[in-house]
Structure 1
Amino acid sequence: MANRTTLLVLLVLVLCHGVGVTMGLWMKEVEQDKKHWHPMSDKLFLMQNSKHIVKTDAGEMRVLESYGGRIMDRRLNIGFITMEPRSLFIPQYLDSTFIIFLRAGEAKVGFVCKSKLVEKHLKMGDVYRIPAGSAFYLVNTMDDQRLHIICSIDPSESIGISVFQSFYVGGGANPASVLSGFAPEIIETAFNVSGAELKKMFTRQHEGPIVHLDNSLSTSIWTKFLQMNGDDKLQHLKKMVIEDQQEPDEDDVDADNDDDEEEEQVTRLSWRKLLESVFRNNNNKEIREKVVHESHHSCNLYDRNPDFKNDYGWSTALDGSDYPPLKKSGIGIYHVNLSPGSMMTPHVNPRATEYGIVLKGSGRIQIIFPNGSSAMDTHIKEGDVFFVPRYFPFCQIASKNGPLEFFGFTTSARKNKPQFLVGATSLMRTMMGPELAAAFGVSEDTMKRMVDAQHETVILPTPWAQAHAQAHTNQKKKKNIQVTVPKLIRNEVIMDF
């Protein structure tokens, strides 16, 4: 008997040591990523390392970098883009895939699909995928509203220079176009245009990657271009080239005077051929419609009915079966709204790591380590970004003062199928039996009474949430009575007559 007891103690010690070593190694990695944090900080799973990627008068982009070491099945960085009314995020391509979500405003995205330019208009709630290496631009089309975008960025695709790397196709002095780095003789040969003209094109833009469309000579060219229909773009670009030749910069006057009329005609002809080669199919309606059909469509999160809804909140999820482009990136999307004081029941994601952004309200989130100890128990508010590693149990609770709304990404495009640990359709309810009772060291009757006490699923009431829901129900009943009574009175009057 003593030997068995000793063996049991040794096994417990080994298990505890294994969990401790695993957590210790991860904590060491977290410490290396976040040296300014205490390793057991109550903010351990909040993403707080913010980096400005772009910042101009017309807008900005900042990114929260992911971390977590080997405990993470996959890391995602979370980006926030803000653009002023009538502004442009200039043409570029990236070394990372973006999944964008329009939090507020409307936008137009132009991108190259199978060597054709396709433009799509996006509205609030739209989800859209921009693949790594795809040339694109973004425009805030509103005259009086900022554009707010939340995006996921896959750092595993990045070449490692930064959280991601932009290669700007358009640009000038700031930012520099990737084309401006080529030797003069190479770029002149490639464009078949004089060096004087190329110098004008590659030095005018100096406002940064996000520019106002109605603010300067350089961006007025983009303004004209973006306002045109596809059929007019070719003619407009031709006109831009001719006007540019007719209005040379003072520094280039001497060079331009050396060009004779014949060279000018050859240059214009070359531009025309170049532009027609890019937009030669714009006048073909059937081909243009085919391009739009084959291009990636957007999916609006706000237009979907909730996957789950009760008196205490609702939740919606998008996966690869709902929006096929998500399959290519292996990303899922979710949106949750908890009424005041309501709680997302303790659950675990067996398939994916979850990244969440608080859109409105405030509340609390608690995440649990594998050994049953608390990993993080902290207050969250609007703008906070949290992540929950795969397999880690957690729950969110809305403050009693107002609802808690959060949106986020998961690292799997398959249906997530979270395992709810408590509730009417929980793991505990499914496993109910003598084995579960024995695991807790109580009788089966006691265990059954405990497990069956909760009648709600997924989103549960707390005492203050129940009070809020009851008050809302009473108010609704009162409103119905106030509406119904006058009708009864009118009916009685009619019958009396």
Structure 2
Amino acid sequence: RGLINLVNQEDRQTYNLEGGDVIRVPAGALIYLINRDNNQKFQIVSLYKPVSTPSNNFREFYGAGGENPESFYNTFSDEILEAAFDTDKEELDSLFRQQRSGEIVQVSQEQIKALSRDASSSQQGSPKWSKHGSQSWRPVNLLDQRATHSNEYGELYDVTPNEYPQLQDLDVAVSYHNISKGAMVAPFYNSRATSLIVVVNGNNGRFEMACPHLSSSQSQREGRETREQEQKQGGSVHYQKVSARLSPRTAFIVPAGHPVSIVASDNQNLKIVAFKINVENNQRIYLAGQNNLLKQLQREAKELAFNKPAREVETILNKQRQSVFLPGPNQRQQREQSEEGRHGGMLIKTMADVLAF
């Protein structure tokens, strides 16, 4: 449980934050965050979209502060600050050079109570305007939305600009996957959106992604012989598997159009947050399961694409009965072993019955 204060030129807006809240922080706002919980850490996942500098050069600006964190006021000359505040240098030094405790400081319960005064939350809806007439930045809760998809293998929640208009001009959406232990997300890709994914909970998960660009760069390094071979094969595309183990605070990027699958460990759920950029008109395209894109192909197209009778192709495509969240690799192996054991047991029982007869 947290608290955020957004201070603009016109007003100050204060919001209580709960697990699953999504909030837009406007550019240029002065903000301060507070952990209201005595027993748990207050953790946030942020997406920065700089308005004036390249993303790799993004830096925070601290106005209130001192020596640590350094206040940007200290970069101005003494005469500028004395004239701006109509105050002597000694008093200004006592203000802008006093703080040395760092970016995070201890807060008393009385101070938290005072700073929380007049706070609202995502539970109170999301009005377009604040009580002072400026735009409201009230959060919306992901987990309060109707699940985009849910079954025994996982849950998917989405907040798009339709549910949270403050994301409209950013062209950003936020997704939350809770993948049950041992389960997986069916291979899929986004038609337009690039996903920035962060693991918030769960160890020893993994992801796999198909990428043609890494394969192309590798081929260039391998030299002319490989390129000549590709030309003989009609210039066919080759894909490289990108994979990694996942643990809390691991982040990875899935470019638009790149097929990806994510698997939870057998011991605990894997929970991830995804920021999707360029989300307007984006579609999440699944490549396995009951909503498999390939099932939409005409029978003749299936035969031509796979060089296999359409009936056999459809038999394979229809085997998976789940959608979006599926049993993972180990779960499938365990199920097959269980079925083999059951069939073997039936065979032994049948033989015993024959001998008894």
TM-score bin (small chain) = 0.7 to 0.9
CA distance in structure 2 between the aligned counterparts of 1:445 and 1:143, rounded to whole angstroms: 61
Q: Identity of counterpart residues, as a percentage?
A: 27
The answer to whether the Cα contact below 8 Å between 1:347 and 1:421 also exists between their aligned partners in 2 is yes
Query: In the TM superposition, what are the counterparts of 1:274-353 in structure 2 within 5 Å?
Result: 290-291=131-132, 294-353=135-194
Which of the pair has more CA radius of gyration? 1
What corresponds to 1:199 in structure 2?
A: 93
Q: Taking structure 1 as reference, are residues 173 and 225 closer, same or farther at Cα in structure 2, changes over 3 Å only?
A: farther
1:426 aligns with 2:292: yes
Q: Taking structure 1 as reference, are residues 164 and 223 closer, same or farther at Cα in structure 2, changes over 3 Å only?
A: farther
Q: 1:308 offset after TM fit, Å?
A: 0.4
Decide which of 426, 430, 440 is 2:306's aligned counterpart.
440
CA distance in structure 2 between the aligned counterparts of 1:161 and 1:347, rounded to whole angstroms: 28
The answer to whether the Cα contact below 8 Å between 1:348 and 1:394 also exists between their aligned partners in 2 is yes
Query: In the TM superposition, what are the counterparts of 1:60-209 in structure 2 within 5 Å?
Result: 106-154=1-49, 157=51, 159-160=53-54, 163-209=57-103
- Where structure 1 has 5 or more consecutive residues not aligned to the other structure, the ranges are 1-105, 215-219, 231-287, 470-497
Q: 1:467 offset after TM fit, Å?
A: 8.7
Q: Taking structure 1 as reference, are residues 379 and 160 closer, same or farther at Cα in structure 2, changes over 3 Å only?
A: closer
Amino acid in structure 1 at the alignment position of 2:145: R
Decide which of 209, 212, 233 is 1:367's aligned counterpart.
209
The answer to whether the Cα contact below 8 Å between 2:202 and 2:268 also exists between their aligned partners in 1 is no
Other structure's SS at 1:211 match: coil
CA distance in structure 1 between the aligned counterparts of 2:311 and 2:35, rounded to whole angstroms: 62
- More deviation in 452-461 or 309-318? 452-461
Amino acid in structure 1 at the alignment position of 2:70: A
Q: 1:396 offset after TM fit, Å?
A: 1.2
CA distance in structure 1 between the aligned counterparts of 2:303 and 2:107, rounded to whole angstroms: 68
Q: 1:205 offset after TM fit, Å?
A: 0.9
Q: Taking structure 1 as reference, are residues 124 and 467 closer, same or farther at Cα in structure 2, changes over 3 Å only?
A: same
What corresponds to 1:376 in structure 2?
A: 242
Q: CA RMSD in A?
A: 3.0
Amino acid in structure 2 at the alignment position of 1:291: H
The answer to whether the Cα contact below 8 Å between 1:420 and 1:458 also exists between their aligned partners in 2 is yes
Amino acid in structure 1 at the alignment position of 2:11: K
Q: Taking structure 1 as reference, are residues 438 and 229 closer, same or farther at Cα in structure 2, changes over 3 Å only?
A: closer
> Quick one: higher RCO (CA 8 Å, sep 6+), 1 or 2?
2
Q: Taking structure 1 as reference, are residues 143 and 451 closer, same or farther at Cα in structure 2, changes over 3 Å only?
A: closer
CA distance in structure 1 between the aligned counterparts of 2:168 and 2:29, rounded to whole angstroms: 17
- Where structure 2 has 5 or more consecutive residues not aligned to the other structure, the ranges are 119-128, 213-236, 336-357
The answer to whether the Cα contact below 8 Å between 1:171 and 1:202 also exists between their aligned partners in 2 is yes
Other structure's SS at 1:434 match: helix
1:417 aligns with 2:283: yes
The answer to whether the Cα contact below 8 Å between 2:160 and 2:174 also exists between their aligned partners in 1 is yes
The answer to whether the Cα contact below 8 Å between 1:318 and 1:334 also exists between their aligned partners in 2 is yes
The answer to whether the Cα contact below 8 Å between 1:118 and 1:291 also exists between their aligned partners in 2 is no
Higher-helix-fraction structure: 1
Query: In the TM superposition, what are the counterparts of 1:457-476 in structure 2 within 5 Å?
Result: 457-462=323-328, 464-465=330-331
CA deviations over 1:415-470 (Å, ceiling 9, x no partner): 6421111222211001132022112111222222222222222122246436989x
TM-score (norm 2): 0.75
Other structure's SS at 2:32 match: strand
CA distance in structure 2 between the aligned counterparts of 1:397 and 1:229, rounded to whole angstroms: 43
Q: Taking structure 1 as reference, are residues 415 and 315 closer, same or farther at Cα in structure 2, changes over 3 Å only?
A: farther
Q: Taking structure 1 as reference, are residues 466 and 291 closer, same or farther at Cα in structure 2, changes over 3 Å only?
A: farther
CA distance in structure 1 between the aligned counterparts of 2:19 and 2:173, rounded to whole angstroms: 18
How many residues matched?
301
Q: Taking structure 1 as reference, are residues 193 and 228 closer, same or farther at Cα in structure 2, changes over 3 Å only?
A: farther
CA distance in structure 2 between the aligned counterparts of 1:446 and 1:179, rounded to whole angstroms: 72
CA distance in structure 2 between the aligned counterparts of 1:375 and 1:294, rounded to whole angstroms: 45
Q: 1:413 offset after TM fit, Å?
A: 4.0
Q: 1:393 offset after TM fit, Å?
A: 0.9
TM-score (norm 1): 0.55
CA distance in structure 1 between the aligned counterparts of 2:22 and 2:55, rounded to whole angstroms: 27
CA distance in structure 1 between the aligned counterparts of 2:74 and 2:171, rounded to whole angstroms: 35
Q: Taking structure 1 as reference, are residues 432 and 344 closer, same or farther at Cα in structure 2, changes over 3 Å only?
A: farther
- More deviation in 295-304 or 113-122? 113-122
The answer to whether the Cα contact below 8 Å between 1:432 and 1:448 also exists between their aligned partners in 2 is no
Q: 1:324 offset after TM fit, Å?
A: 1.2
What corresponds to 1:456 in structure 2?
A: 322
Q: Taking structure 1 as reference, are residues 439 and 145 closer, same or farther at Cα in structure 2, changes over 3 Å only?
A: closer
